[in-house]
Homo-oligomer: A and B are copies of this chain.
């Protein structure tokens, strides 16, 4: 059985969250989730990246508090922790939603 540690609202740190958002791959994943609700790894619109690298980025996003997983069978569905983020960092989700997604 999986037991994954997510930071609680009070454990979330703005610098850590900003560092997580400071990578273009991760920013794209977060913006994707902010718009779409829930997706599994293959749903993130990031190209030319190995699955181990993607998994690494997901871990950083999860540990920063930005996203949370839901396990269903062999799939891992991820979603943005909108309510928690809105409580801890009011305005942050809107900021992400207002920003157009970069297409490379």
Contacts and interface: CB of A to CB of B under 8 A. Distances in A.
Interface of A: 14-16, 18-24, 27, 89-92, 94-96, 98-99, 102
Number of copies: 2
A14 B21 CA distance: 9
26 contacts: A14-B21, A14-B95, A14-B96, A14-B99, A15-B21, A15-B23, A15-B27, A15-B102, A16-B22, A18-B18, A18-B19, A18-B21, A18-B22, A18-B27, A19-B19, A19-B23, A20-B22, A21-B22, A22-B22, A89-B95, A89-B98, A90-B98, A91-B91, A91-B92, A91-B95, A92-B95
A16 B24 CA distance: 9
A89 B94 contact: no
A98 B24 CA distance: 26
